[in-house]
Each structure stands twice: as C-alpha cells, then as structure tokens.
Structure 1
Amino acid sequence: MLEIRNLTKRFGGLTAVRDVSVTMEAGKINAIIGPNGAGKTTFFNLISGVHQPTSGSIVFKGQDVTRLRADQMARLGVSRTFQTTALFDNASVLDNLIVGHRLRTRSGLWDVLARTRLAREEEKICRDKAERALDFVGLNHIHHRLAADISQEERKRVAFALALCTDPNIVLLDEPAGGVNPEETVGLAALIRKMVDSGLTVCLIEHKMDMIMSLADKILVLSYGEKIAEGTPAEIRANPQVIEAYLGSEHAAA
C-alpha cells in the first residue's frame, strides 16, 4: 500500500532520516521502533505530508505522493494521530469528531451561514460518521462530555475515532499507548487489531516493546535516522544490531 524509497530529510546540517526504504503492507500492523532521536516522528511527518523530503520518494497505492501536503494526503486516505492528543477542550467529544469528517465535505462558508440544503445534508453525514466512529472505539457513552473532562485513555480513543472520521485507508499512530497504564494498553492494542480486522492498514510508533512484539506483523527499526533492521517480531528480537541499539539483552533471551 505504501512504498518508501531512499527517503532522506535534512534540517540544515542535521540528517534526521537517511536513505530509508520500506514497504508498509496493506491490511497489516506495521510498527516503527527505535531509541529517542532515531527519526521516527520525522519519518511519520514525511509520510503524512507535514514535511517535504530532501530526497527519495513516497508511493501510495501506486501514486507518487512525495510532494503532497498533509491535507492532500489526508484526502487520499492517509490519517494520523500525534503523541499529544490535541482536542477542542471546550467542545463535546462528539463535536470534536464532527470536525474530522469536514475533510470530505463540499459546503463552504456561505452554505453554513445560509443553512443551505447541502450544508444540512453534510452536517447529518458528519454527525452520523462521528457517532459510528465513537461506537467503534467504545466511547458512545461519553459523546456529550466536554473533551477537557475525559481521561488520558479516553483521549487516545477519541484520537483514533478522529482518524477514522476522515475515511482513511491507512492510519499512522504516533505512540498510541503513551501515558496509559498496562491494562489500558491492552485495550488500545485490541482496538488497533480491531481497526485492521475492519479492513484498515495501521502503522505505529511505540516504545512499549511487549505491545509491539505481540501486535505487529512487521517491524522497522531506526537508529540515528537510518534503517538498521526490518522483519517479523521474532526476527527483530533476535537481531544483534537491534539488541545493541535498543531492545536490550532481556528481549534476546525472551
């Protein structure tokens, strides 16, 4: 679904991502791991159109999308979450999600102000989409609550739902289990698996190795912006370079 070829990103004299090539497989959970400063989030920013690469190419479903902006990538079906979930805290959870599907609407400012038929029809579509996304992530019971009043784990689920509201083909999850406890991590992992079972492709960055090793179909390992390994969890766990760079000897023995 997503093919990365010799991707490089330089910020002045710093090379954050260097000559990385990888394929993200459709209908799979593709994980990216590596120590802090390895270039993982920069890599996501390149894929999603937040940053433009210095060199290399990105091909999505057979189309060269290397120079597309983030909004163009989202319209093509690439959605992402961020390490910190930014919501409109003074709006309800449902209203936060209604905004997400606006990406797919055609009504403009005049339609909204004049309450045209198009605006009314699209508002209903956005609301229906938001309600289905909330149901998918198990949060229908808090649709009316202000975003400021929900827990960290619920914010993570809302971020998943917001990504789903854009009608994606692939979802990029940046540390989806960051800041939640082990029990909540298990629940989020089950939700990620549910997303893939529903037909989506997932690529995630995560530091919780137990979660990654039990969840991912394929893992890419970055270190100092370079790819040092790629393979199944079993292959990554046994890779000497990965053990030295990141995982530690306890994973080699597991």
Structure 2
Amino acid sequence: MLIETRNLTKQFGGLTAVKDVDFEIEKGKINAIIGPNGAGKSTFFNLVSGSYIPTSGQVIYRGKDITKLPPNKIAELGVARTFQTTNLFEQATVLDNVIVGHRLRTKYNLLDAVLRTKRYKKEEKKCKDKAMEVLDFVGLTNITDQLAGNITQEEKKRVAFALALATDPEVVFLDEPAAGINSGETEGLAELMKKMVKRGITVCLIEHKMQMIMKLADKIMVLNYGEKIAEGSSEEIMNNQDVIEAYLGGDASA
C-alpha cells in the first residue's frame, strides 16, 4: 500500500463532494476510480494531490500524514498528476515544456540562474537530459522541437505524461488521460500506462472509457454522489448491483 485515504471528506458549503472515503492505492498496480458524472472523482484527486485541503479525514503516503501539505511538497515526495485539460505552454517547444517538470529536483537558486553559474548550467543539463529520457519513454523524440500548440491532441496527452514522469514520481495520478482521443490512440496510452508500471511507477487514474478500464485496471473504486459504493477487480465491479444501478440510474455516459 502506497497511499491510503481515511474517512476522506470534502464539503463545499452545503454540498458534500467526497464523503468518508477509505481507499488504498496499491504500489506497482494500475488503480482506477470510476463513477457517474459529478461523483466526486476529480475532487478526490485534488484532495490526494494537495490542491484541496479536506474538510475531515486523512491522506497517508508511505505511512506519513500529508493531508495538509501543499501540492509542491507532495510532488517533491513523489506524487505527480496530470489534469483533465492538458495545459501546456503553447508557444514553447515540447522539450521546453517537459524540462519544467524536472526543475522540481534541481538544486540551484535564483542568483545561480541570473549569473548563469556552473551549478546552474549543470542542473539545466540534467533537466534537459531527463526531459529527453522521458520523451523517449513516451515515444515523442521526433517532435521535441515542435511548438506545443501545433501538435495533436494525442501527442499533448503524451507530453502531459512526460511532464509528470520528469518529476521522478513514485505514483502518477492521471485525470481522464484518454478524453478526446480515438480508440486506437486510447489503446496506445493504455500500453504506456502498463509500461510505466513495469518501470516501477504506480498509476491511479480517473477514466470514462469503461472498456479500457475493465481491461487495464488491477483495482477499481466506484464513487457515486461522493461516496464509495464498490471496490474490487474488474469482474467484481461489473457484477456489482450497486454499480449497475448507479450507472443506469444516473448518467450512464460516465
């Protein structure tokens, strides 16, 4: 077990977006979170990655309480995430976009950067080398010099993966990685997630493409109206009556 949430709850005024959710993200596996639209999936991600502070409950990472840590501190511990909307610097190259990721691990200060000291140059080379390594891993070495604004939607998804990987994470949270791409491209991203796990990176994703999730995930949690209604393998989830009712009774497109 890598990350554990205990009674995790988030309220926005009178709305409870996540309610008393206990979940264990298992190391070295593909963990998935599914549920109808508005079920609280992205809020759950935001709580774990530090974008939101819970109303109550805890987030434990490697036995340490990280509930109130800011996102940059959580990222430094080894937790990376992508977002539903891929926000890249459109006027910068693909390489420059990914270089930003590894700056989290650099050891130079502002003065080094201004004076372009030896330490600055050494650390910048490390960032560039790391960026090239992860771009190779995601299969994008052929477009490193292209502007991010000029590449395809599927390539942008891969750049987002590369950016997360450049932070040297232990676990990566992927928020709807296959949104807006076709079935062939979806298959390619699924293979990339398997490759990440083979490299020792734990994956946790939110996804609406059920066919992909059922084939890919080792473990699935289902949220509905902010509450966990089921947890288990693909087979267990597909045969769970509460899950069937949540999808058929609510927004079945989720």
- TM range, smaller chain: over 0.9
Report 1:66-85 matches (<5 A). Answer: 66-85=67-86
Q: Which residue of 1 aligns with 2:209?
A: 208
Give the counterpart letter for 1:127 in structure 2: K
Q: Provide the secondary structure at the position in 1 that maps to 2:178.
A: coil
Q: Are positions 1:228 and 2:212 aligned together?
A: no
- What is the CA-CA distance between 1:247 and the residue it aligns to? 6.4
Q: Which residue of 2 aligns with 1:91?
A: 92
Q: Provide the secondary structure at the position in 1 that maps to 2:155.
A: helix
Aligned length: 249
Q: For 2:72 and 2:247, locate their aligned partners in 1 and report how far apart those are by CA, in whole Å.
A: 34
Q: Which residue of 2 aligns with 1:164?
A: 165
TM-score normalised by length of structure 1: 0.97
Report 1:101-112 matches (<5 A). Answer: 101-112=102-113
Q: For 2:176 and 2:33, locate their aligned partners in 1 and report how far apart those are by CA, in whole Å.
A: 10
For residues 73-127 of structure 1, what are the alpha-carbon distances to aligned partners after superposition, in whole Å with 9 as ceiling and x for unaligned? 0000000000010001100000001111111112122111101111000000000
Cα RMSD after superposing both structures: 1.1
Report 1:141-220 matches (<5 A). Answer: 141-220=142-221
Q: Provide the secondary structure at the position in 1 that maps to 2:68.
A: coil
Q: For 1:108 and 1:124, locate their aligned partners in 2 and report how far apart those are by CA, in whole Å.
A: 15
Q: Which residue of 2 aligns with 1:124?
A: 125
- What is the CA-CA distance between 1:216 and the residue it aligns to? 0.0
Q: Are positions 1:61 and 2:62 aligned together?
A: yes
Q: Provide the secondary structure at the position in 2 that maps to 1:31.
A: strand
Change (3 A) 1:103 1:224: same
Structure 2 unaligned spans of 5+: none
For residues 30-65 of structure 1, what are the alpha-carbon distances to aligned partners after superposition, in whole Å with 9 as ceiling and x for unaligned? 000001100000000000000000100111011111
Q: Which residue of 1 aligns with 2:115?
A: 114
Decide which moves more: 99-108 or 226-235: 99-108
Give the counterpart letter for 1:40 in structure 2: K
Give the counterpart letter for 1:123 in structure 2: E
Q: For 1:247 and 1:70, locate their aligned partners in 2 and report how far apart those are by CA, in whole Å.
A: 36
- What is the CA-CA distance between 1:165 and the residue it aligns to? 0.3
Q: For 2:6 and 2:241, locate their aligned partners in 1 and report how far apart those are by CA, in whole Å.
A: 25
Structure 1 unaligned spans of 5+: none
Q: For 1:202 and 1:59, locate their aligned partners in 2 and report how far apart those are by CA, in whole Å.
A: 16
Superposition misfits of 4+ residues, deviation over 2 angstroms = none
Give the counterpart letter for 2:173 in structure 1: L
Task: Report percent identity of matched pairs.
Answer: 65
TM-score normalised by length of structure 2: 0.97
Q: For 1:144 and 1:108, locate their aligned partners in 2 and report how far apart those are by CA, in whole Å.
A: 27
Q: For 1:51 and 1:151, locate their aligned partners in 2 and report how far apart those are by CA, in whole Å.
A: 31
